[in-house]
Chain A
């Protein structure tokens, strides 16, 4: 490697632990206060992701319809009040959780929280709003499924866990026709409770903000702990090829089921995934893009759910070079298994991973996002420094051993759509 004309240093990466308040209904509020900003964000999480639903699309519909009318405000009034104060309301659902966020200027905290209270605690899910939502979403999903990438993502989930597994399931667009208002109301009442969620607040959080947030959260009802429905047995399919009419590119997903974040090898496998396709210049990026020009981009990463985790490689390549690209991906995986990585490359990967963590932590909202991830793993923010230390200790031998153990060709799932 060339000698750098300037010195580079290894940064320290750590953030303070959140202050935790347990409210009278048992709900926890995590506070990350910083006076450097004139903004605040409040995020609530509920165990209300799609793996919890009995009726297709009811989990995402519940989250997306929260702001479409409440006991004291119409959908229109809610959006007017939020927009007037320049506040952002955002919802997201994944397989395990729903995330409800409010971002606001410090000077408009009381006004925004007033609307938040209506959205979170008193939604009415009006029939006509449910109807509009069904129509829009059905059309949107149909459009999404015209993309090779979306189809590959869905096929990959179902190849990895099985078509009837909550982590692998995908539903027909027509399932929207059968979704009723009552499904949404039921899901809301059973899942949006103090027992089933927590909140994280960051930015400027002074005494009066703190009091207002606590007052809001304390109104969530207590309910019985929801029972964990046991998941069905995982059923895997190792090779899936789907055709997509008119496609000029193929979408490729390769990966394998591994373990959730608590597993002792999770961080080690993050290093392996990063070396393979976690950065610009990674082995796959170098091979597929820089050397062969097969693709605009390729990534690999460890993905984690609450009860599962897997490694995934994703790319879109020219249709005419699909087989060549597959061959090169397998080749790069095999190379990790058979040759130890040189120290310099591993050092590079480690520095990239630490830098990435610093960037995510830049700004008050990023700090909150990382804190949420840590809470979901049952850890405090001191895990960050531990993980960084763990990454820095990784040796080339360890990377090879992990790849050898976990990335055998016969264990890999391959999905191609194009």
Chain B
């Protein structure tokens, strides 16, 4: 349970605060409602490149990290398909340093051609390190391309190719900044051992004066219903073949989200889960297996994936996945098993609320989703899931014509 207070400033910035009574640290999280799904298909990877540029200094603060570090703070950021998130922790007495800096770079960013060129090279090295120079590095990229034909979820946050990053221009940088980086397109959350009203006032003091000029941007093309099963096979120099199957499911605020998440836990949440027990331990078909949901804001994917042992054929592996899927459609999970995955969800929630940074990050995220109260209500949503809902979900989602299978074959 995260108690909070919320205020919307005149310029449209939403502020959410939490009083933490134990930590000597304060956390500041600033979320911009822009991610890879907002990108031009010919300039993918841009939202992430832009996140990097946000650390390249403003006219008043040439090096963003320096004052943070001088205040014994630490900062970082990440970009995903839906949003860009900047976060800082610092000793509670130094909280205002973070507010000053975030306020400053919301409108004062100063990018020169030289800064842009160097940052492109850094991001290209990141692309190589994480996706090109790793065994299985391109696997999730291939699966996205297969599962989506239209929605921008068909590319990863890093982008479709290093060429897209290479080609980014200063004009594009400025346009992107004006379009997406402004108060009414952002959510700010603070967590610290300070009075909540005082925290809200501090936010007002540092962000209240910023202007907001809404600029419309393109709506996001939505994915049409999949009518036919898809299959892609690639061969790579890796020691073991992996197989992934993706199914389309509902969006983040639909009932599908909790149900899908719970079903993925039945399949692979912990060592007692079905896939691990049946396919890894009993049948010894896989070295590892996983089931998870992509968890995106727009309709997302339910993904099964497994790494085959050398003695297992691709047909055997796919059949094994199908058996588990069929069981979900026809056999009711026991009350015990349902209780187990619900307990696990509750424990994960509690373990996740142990520090100020996680709390501020969660508050921002749920406010961004458009349902802040869900941050404390989601556990009840999980608790309410019954066997019928699982049947309904499995029947509707796990259909062959709704599937995309990627075989990543060891050469």
A-side interface residues toward B, CB under 8 Å?
Answer: 1-2, 4-6, 8-11, 34, 36-39, 67, 75-76, 79-80, 82-88, 103-105, 132, 135-136, 139-140, 142-143, 146-148, 246-249, 279-281, 289-296, 316-318, 347-348, 351-352, 354-356, 358-359, 362-365
Q: A2-B67, A148-B133, A296-B122 are in contact. List 12 more A-B contacts (CB 8 A).
A: A4-B100, A6-B100, A9-B93, A105-B346, A139-B239, A248-B128, A248-B133, A249-B125, A249-B128, A296-B129, A318-B128, A348-B66
- Report yes or no: A146 in contact with B238, Cβ–Cβ below 8 A: yes
- Report yes or no: B269 in contact with A281, Cβ–Cβ below 8 A: no
Cα A290 to Cα B128 with chains together (Å) = 17
Cα A34 to Cα B21 with chains together (Å) = 13
A-B interface, 7 closest residue pairs, ranked by CB to CB distance from nearest: A86-B347, A293-B121, A355-B72, A79-B271, A79-B272, A11-B91, A83-B270
Chain B contacts for A294, CB-based, 8 A: 121, 125
Q: From B22-30, B172-180, B368-376, give the one contacting chain A.
A: B22-30
**B325 contacts the other chain (Cβ, under 8 Å)?**
no
B-side interface residues toward A, CB under 8 Å?
Answer: 21-25, 60-63, 65-67, 69-74, 89-91, 93-94, 96-97, 100, 117-126, 128-130, 132-136, 237-240, 269-273, 277, 280-281, 284, 287-288, 307, 309-310, 336, 339-340, 343-348, 350-351, 354-356
Chain B contacts for A358, CB-based, 8 A: 24-25, 72, 91
Chain A contacts for B65, CB-based, 8 A: 279-281
Q: Which residue in chain B gives the minimum CB-CB distance to A105?
A: B347
- Report yes or no: B309 in contact with A139, Cβ–Cβ below 8 A: yes
Chain B contacts for A10, CB-based, 8 A: 72
- Report yes or no: A139 in contact with B122, Cβ–Cβ below 8 A: no
Contact of A281 with B66 at beta-carbon distance under 8 Å, contacts A11-B93, A86-B344, A351-B72 already known: yes
Chain A contacts for B238, CB-based, 8 A: 143, 146
- Report yes or no: A364 in contact with B354, Cβ–Cβ below 8 A: yes
Cα A261 to Cα B247 with chains together (Å) = 52
Q: Which residue in chain A gives the minimum CB-CB distance to B358?
A: A363
- Cross-chain contact of B350 among A34, A75, A105 (Cβ < 8 A): A105
- Cross-chain contact of A39 among B24, B94, B130, B350 (Cβ < 8 A): B350
Q: Which residue in chain A gives the minimum CB-CB distance to B55?
A: A280
- Report yes or no: A4 in contact with B67, Cβ–Cβ below 8 A: yes
Mostly helix, strand, loop or mixed at chain A's interface? mixed
Number of CB contacts from chain A to chain B under 8 A: 199
Contact of A142 with B72 at beta-carbon distance under 8 Å, contacts A83-B272, A132-B281, A293-B120 already known: no
Cα A140 to Cα B343 with chains together (Å) = 31
Q: Which residue in chain B gives the minimum CB-CB distance to A41?
A: B351
- Report yes or no: B284 in contact with A85, Cβ–Cβ below 8 A: no
- Cross-chain contact of A355 among B74, B126, B340 (Cβ < 8 A): B74
- Report yes or no: B61 in contact with A289, Cβ–Cβ below 8 A: no
A-B contact pairs, 6 of them (CB 8 A): A2-B61, A83-B273, A136-B288, A139-B240, A280-B65, A355-B71
Chain A contacts for B128, CB-based, 8 A: 248-249, 318
Closest approach, in angstroms, between the C-beta of A366 and any C-beta of chain B? 8
Contact of A83 with B340 at beta-carbon distance under 8 Å, contacts A296-B126, A359-B74, A362-B23 already known: yes
- Report yes or no: A142 in contact with B25, Cβ–Cβ below 8 A: no
Chain B contacts for A105, CB-based, 8 A: 346-347, 350
Chain B contacts for A364, CB-based, 8 A: 354
Q: Which residue in chain A gives the minimum CB-CB distance to B342?
A: A86
Closest approach, in angstroms, between the C-beta of A344 and any C-beta of chain B? 9
- Report yes or no: A147 in contact with B343, Cβ–Cβ below 8 A: no
Cα A44 to Cα B287 with chains together (Å) = 28
Q: Which residue in chain A gives the minimum CB-CB distance to B67?
A: A4
Cα A37 to Cα B134 with chains together (Å) = 40
Chain A contacts for B97, CB-based, 8 A: 4, 6, 8
Cα A34 to Cα B23 with chains together (Å) = 12
Q: For A9, A246, A355, which residue has the most chain B Cβ atoms within 10 angstroms?
A: A355
Contact of A316 with B129 at beta-carbon distance under 8 Å, contacts A75-B281, A351-B71 already known: yes
Chain B contacts for A347, CB-based, 8 A: 70
- Report yes or no: B280 in contact with A132, Cβ–Cβ below 8 A: yes
- Report yes or no: B273 in contact with A359, Cβ–Cβ below 8 A: no
Q: For B24, B91, B125, which residue has the most chain A Cβ atoms within 10 angstroms?
A: B125
Closest approach, in angstroms, between the C-beta of B129 and any C-beta of chain A? 5
Q: Which residue in chain A gives the minimum CB-CB distance to B137?
A: A147
Chain A contacts for B71, CB-based, 8 A: 8, 351, 355
Chain B contacts for A140, CB-based, 8 A: 287-288
- Cross-chain contact of A103 among B66, B120, B287, B351 (Cβ < 8 A): B351
Chain B contacts for A39, CB-based, 8 A: 350-351, 354
Q: For A82, A86, A147, A359, which residue has the most chain B Cβ atoms within 10 angstroms?
A: A86
- Cross-chain contact of A37 among B100, B288, B354 (Cβ < 8 A): B354
Chain A contacts for B22, CB-based, 8 A: 34, 36
Chain B contacts for A67, CB-based, 8 A: 271
Contact of A351 with B70 at beta-carbon distance under 8 Å, contacts A8-B97, A11-B93, A249-B129 already known: yes
Closest approach, in angstroms, between the C-beta of B112 and any C-beta of chain A? 13
Q: For B117, B130, B354, which residue has the most chain A Cβ atoms within 10 angstroms?
A: B354
